[in-house]
Chain A
Amino acid sequence: MRHPTDGTLRRLLDEPAGVADADREHVARCPVCLSGLAAARQDAAITGAALDVRPDVDVEAGWQRLHRTVGSTAHRRAPAAARAPRWRAALRSPVVAAVAVLALLAGASAAAAGNWLQIFHTERIAPVTLPQADLVALPDLSAYGEVKMTERANVREVADAAEAERVSGLTLPRVAQLPRGVRGEPTFQVGDRTSAEFTFSVDKARQTAEAAGKPLPEPPAGLDGSQFRLSAGPGVAAVWSAGREVPNLIVARMAAPTVYSSGVEFATARDYLLSLPGLPENVASQLRHYTGDGATLPLPVNARYLTAATADVHGSPATVLTSRDGVLAGVVWVQGGTVTAVAGPLSADEVLSVARGLRWNR
């Protein structure tokens, strides 16, 4: 009879009942197999000792932790049916749509035919203060074509800063000194990269123009059906909320928005889009001002609720937004392709102080 395999000898140590009688009888009488069995036993013992880790696990605490995580992510993720409309609504809302349009418009003329080319990469943010009427009048992207979300943020809470950094790939700075009234440990949230594809449609643009009672200017060749991909993120945030609904302080970072073109001559598209009826002249003129370098993301600011000022954070130009009622303030700046923001129910001085005091080594 042939010798049983090493695997059979190994199983004989653990589950002798799982080994055929003939094999067991053979091994018991075979010096070669007995030697092999002894070697297997020795290796199993060494491995058993090396892997003899028996952590004292608190199942209840573990379940509570998972339950919290599931609850917080379910709150943001689910139900899926509700998520999509919310995104569409976000894109339709004037401010978000304006950001998208502005990012789309703010391209350099570097695009060429062929593959997706990066035509816009945020290096700076500039506030574009618009009156409420103009913001409301601002058409969203779907007025000019098809908008399709291709990647969703899936914002979720994670266990700690290390996990947040691992998931997002972004460094989360430490706050050197918390503002007065902000206490405790933050929770950490991450969001994946968000992307949308916009396909320009002359038909849709014409409908929008006609709705505004104006004829559509003759579109340049190649624009109909040309595609743009807008993406932002991933992102990460530390949130001090002390169990309350409204956080006391948020420190967030996000890979800066970029726009890719499937190959249209972007300066042509930009000039054309800015000439379309439906875009308030006040908006168009401010956009023209910012669309030259392909690196400045105009941040639409609703003049009714917010005031914008500029400041300096670690040598980067920053935009400080303050609510007119003085309750909220935020500061946002771009450095190295990453947008960083500090915001909360604080004064402008306080958010600037936090921003300037951020420490980048954990």
Chain B
Amino acid sequence: MVVGSTPAGREGVRADLEQVFRTTYPRVVGVAARVLGSRAEAEDVAQEVFLAFGRSSVPAGQAVGWLSVAAAHTALNQVRSRRRRAAREQVAGDLDAVCPDVADTVVTRDERRRVRAALARLPRRQAVALLLRHSGLSYAEVAAALDLSPGSVGTTVRRAESALREELNRHASSD
């Protein structure tokens, strides 16, 4: 694995942006989509995150972890920002009617809402570890991205899964 930052190009954007984008974009969108349940919103998050990455000097070898963590935080922040959610859901609701989102076929919108809310209630580190692991990052990659010891990744993920199940059960029974 090559670890080294890429100097910014003439436009102030790192030279390896396109290469990193093409290899990691689906994964980064996937991380955000697991939180937001909407491809369109997840792509917005990914754009934001890649733009920040393009101006950063994050070593290339840490790109996947950095981008995934940034996408998870940005998406979770959006969920917590209730005002924006309300506004966007209104718009997304209109759009979904025209262009059905892939996510719609997997989980119903109500279930998505419950998952979103449950994720947002988890301790942030647990939620991010969970998202990274379920987005296909290895234990070693999650450990490096979150500055955890590899041994504690399993513990964090296990606690997060248990907490998520409880959150989902609690809200399923209260609905």
Q: Do A and B bind each other?
A: yes
Which of B10, B130, B157 is most buried by chain A, counting CB atoms within 10 A of its CB? B157
* Residue from A11, A56, A80 in contact with B102 in the complex, judged by beta carbons closer than 8 Å: A56
- Size range of the chain A interface in the assembly: 35 or more
Please provide the chain A residues from 57 to 111 with a CB less than 8 Å away from any CB of chain B in the complex: 57, 59, 62-63, 65-67, 69-71, 73-74, 77-80
Asked if A74 meets B11 with Cβ closer than 8 Å, knowing A7-B152, A47-B161, A53-B103, the reply is yes
Closest B residue, CB atoms, query A44:
B161
**Partner among B51, B111, B154, B161 whose Cβ is within 8 Å of the Cβ of A43:** B161
Contact indicator B12/A77 (Cβ below 8 Å): yes
Asked if A288 is at the interface of the complex by the 8 Å CB criterion, the answer is no
Please pick, from B12, B46, B139, the residue contacting A78 in the complex, using a CB distance under 8 A: B12
A162 touches B84 (CB 8 A): yes
Taking CB atoms, residues of chain B closer than 8 Å to A55 are 29-30, 33, 39, 42-43, 101-103
Tell yes or no: B17 within 8 A of A by CB: yes
Do A7 and B21 have beta carbons less than 8 Å apart? no
Which of B10, B30, B150 lies in contact with A54, CB distance below 8 A? Answer: B30
Residues of A within 8 A of B155 (CB): 5-7, 10
Contact A62 B43 (CB under 8 A): yes
Main secondary structure of the interface of B (DSSP, over half): helix
Asked if B151 is at the interface (CB within 8 A of a chain A CB), the reply is yes
A312 within 8 A of B: no
Using CB atoms, name the residue of chain B closest to A70: B13
Q: Confirm or deny: A176 has a beta carbon within 8 angstroms of a beta carbon on chain B.
A: no
Query: 1/0 per position for B10-46, CB-CB distance to A under 8 A?
Result: 1111000110011001100110011001010011101
Residues of chain A in range 33-63 having any CB-CB distance to chain B below 8 Å: 40, 43-44, 46-48, 50-57, 59, 62-63
* Nearest residue, chain B, Cβ from A48: B134
A11: nearest residue on chain B (CB-CB)? B154
B133 touches A57 (CB 8 A): no
Residue contact B21 to A8, C-beta cutoff 8 Å: no
Contact in complex: A69, B51 (CB < 8 Å) = yes
- Write out the residue numbers on chain A whose beta carbons fall within 8 Å of the beta carbon of B157: 7, 10
Distance in angstroms from A167 CB to nearest chain B CB is 10
CB-defined contacts of A112 to chain B, threshold 8 Å: none
Do the beta carbons of B88 and A162 come within 8 Å of each other? yes
Evaluate contact between B47 and A69: CB separation under 8 angstroms: yes
Q: Which residues of B contact A314 (CB under 8 A)?
A: none
Interface string of A158-191 (1 = CB under 8 A from B): 0100110010000000000000000000000000
